[in-house]
Every structure is written in C-alpha cells, then in structure tokens.
Structure 1
Amino acid sequence: MNKTHFIEHLRFALSAQLETAKMAAKTAHDTATHEENIAENKYDTLGLEAAYLAQGQAQRVNDCYLSIQQFEQSFKEVISDQVSVGALICVEYEAGTQAWFYMGPNAGGLVVEHKQFNVQVLTPHAPLGKALLNKHCDDEVTFNIAGKSQQLTIVNVL
C-alpha cells in the first residue's frame, strides 16, 4: 500500500464530505428563508424547524473545514514504526483476514477505497484506536467491542 496515494484518496473523501455538507446547508437555508415557509399562526413551525436544520447544517460545514485542517496536520506527522495519529495500519484478525486502518484525528468510521482495499479511519478515542495506539508491528492486541473480546496482530505500520 502506498501511503502517499492513500492520503490523496482521503483528501478527496474529506473534500466530498465538505461539498455534501455545503449543498445540504444551502438547501436547508433556502428552505428556511423561502416565502412559503413563513408562519401563518403559532402552530405553523415549518419555518422554525427549517431554521434549526439550517443552523445544524452550517455547523456541519464548519466541522468539515476543521476536520480537513486537522487531517492536513496528521499527514505531516513523522513516520515511525509506532501507531500514532497519521499512521496507516494493517492488522490481521485471528481468522486470518486482514484490514487496513488510518489513525486520524477525527472522522472515525469514514471508509476510503484505495485500490482493492477499504481503509477505515479510526480515532484514538475508539476502542480499537485506543488498543492500537503506541503499539508496533508484530504486536498482538486484544480489545473489547460490545462485550466481545477480539484479538489481532499488527502486520504493518506506515
């Protein structure tokens, strides 16, 4: 796996999230300010609800910008053999299946397709992220998710 190419794919995915958030915010704003949504009586709350939605979507756009800034910082992290924010990690589960993860500052759960792999973004706050943090290649890691213990081995840290 080429980390530089993966980072470009991740940048594209983050930009796509931002564009989606911008479109949703514009749609919500247009709905909130449309003349048909002016309240006709105290029970007509469509305009108010649309305004709350527009505010939430605007916050989502701000969060996307902040996320991109934080990821750009993580892309500059010094490469080491230890799992930290900015690391691209390959793990192997007990069943023999492998999975790729990127330890990011946020956006946990985002899946980025790179070549034939799906790389999932982890944060240091997620159970698996906590378990992997500061570990090295060939370390065995045990963690619990939903009360079920799982074990994996770190195959590669880029």
Structure 2
Amino acid sequence: MNKKEIHDAITKALLNRFKTAELAAKQAHQAATGDESVAENKYDTFGLEASYLAHGQSQRVIECEQDWLLFSKKALHLHRIDHPVTLWTLVELEALNSALSEKKYFFISPCAGGLSVEVSEKSIFSVTASSPVGKALIGKVVDDEVCLTKNGHQVAYEITSIQ
C-alpha cells in the first residue's frame, strides 16, 4: 500500500469537500440576500433563517479549507516500523480469530475524522487521535493487538503494518 497515494487521495477528497462547501455557502448567501428573503410580515422568518444558514455555511467553508490546507502542505514521511503509531501514520490491521482474512486500514490524522477514501480497491479510513479508534491505535507497534467495536461487538485485530 502506497502511503503517498493515500495522502493524495485524502487531500483530493478534502479539496472536493472544500469546493462543495464553498458552493453551498454561495447558494445560502444568495438565498439570504435575494428578493424572496424580504419579510412580507412580522411572522415571515425566511430571510432570518437563510442568514443563519449562510453564516453556518461560511463557517463550514473555513473549516474545510483549513483541513485541506493542512493536508496539502504536510510533507509526507515514511514511518519507521519499530516506532509506535502517531499522527500521520497509516496503520494496517488484520482480524484475529476470523475465518476470513479481514484487513482494515486507518490513517491517523489531526483532522477530517470519518473521511473514507478508496485506494487500490481498499477503503482507508481517516481517524483522529481523539476518536475511539485513534485512542486504541496511538502508541501501539507492529504485532500489538487492539480491540475495536464492530457492529456492537468487540473484534480483536493485530497491527500488521505501520507506515
């Protein structure tokens, strides 16, 4: 698995999220300032609601831009195999006690938790260090066992690779 490809895929997904947020903010702003937002009576709150939405969308644009810039400017480095999991590492897990060879891939990120990207027909999940999965992985090394919740059940995994 190529860590650079994964980093690039996450960066591209964050750029797409940023552009979508910009478009939504522009549309919300137009709705808030358009002729139809002028109140017809004291009970007409469409304009007020549209302005709240526009403000929220503009805040979302700022957050999305910060996430994208953080990823796009980060110099990628390979992680030494004997070092524990930290931020900016890619972790490969394999399920223990499973008939299937189930593998999971997590990218430990300072932002964009919950984002999923497809690289080489594999799903890579971005998790933050403060998430339950991030907390379980931070500080672990190759061959360590971690338990993660899957569909309400605890599943044991072994860390097979750290990049």
User: Which aligned pairs between 1:92-103 and structure 2 lie closer than 5 A?
Assistant: 92-94=94-96, 95=98, 96-103=101-108
Paired residue type of 2:102: T
Q: CA deviation at 1:4?
A: 1.1
Q: Is the 8 A contact 2:85 2:137 kept in 1?
A: yes
SS in structure 2 at match of 1:120? strand
Paired residue type of 1:93: A
Cα separation, partners in 2 of 1:128 and 1:103, compared to 1, 3 Å:
same
Higher relative contact order (CA 8 A, sep 6+): 2
Cα shift readout 1:46-102 (whole Å, capped 9, x = no counterpart): 111010000000000000111123334655466233211100111112323001110
Show the counterpart of 2:129.
Answer: 124
Cα shift readout 1:90-125 (whole Å, capped 9, x = no counterpart): 111232300111001111110011111110101111
Indicate the RMSD between aligned Cα atoms, in angstroms.
1.9
**Mapped partners of 2:119, 2:148: distance in 1:** 26
User: Which aligned pairs between 1:25-104 and structure 2 lie closer than 5 A?
Assistant: 25-72=25-72, 75-76=75-76, 79-81=79-81, 82-94=84-96, 95=98, 96-104=101-109
Worse-matched range after superposition: 48-57 or 142-151: 142-151
With normalisation by structure 2, the TM-score equals: 0.88
| Aligned partner of 2:116 among 111, 119, 130 | 111
Task: Structure 1 unaligned segments of length 5 or more: list them.
Answer: none
Q: Is the 8 A contact 1:75 1:86 kept in 2?
A: no
Show the counterpart of 2:9.
Answer: 9
With normalisation by structure 1, the TM-score equals: 0.91
SS in structure 2 at match of 1:106? coil
| Aligned partner of 1:156 among 149, 155, 161 | 161
Show the counterpart of 1:24.
Answer: 24
Q: CA deviation at 1:151?
A: 1.5
Cα separation, partners in 2 of 1:7 and 1:97, compared to 1, 3 Å:
same
User: How many residues are matched?
Assistant: 158
Show the counterpart of 1:140.
Answer: 145
Q: % of aligned pairs identical? A: 38
Cα separation, partners in 2 of 1:74 and 1:153, compared to 1, 3 Å:
farther
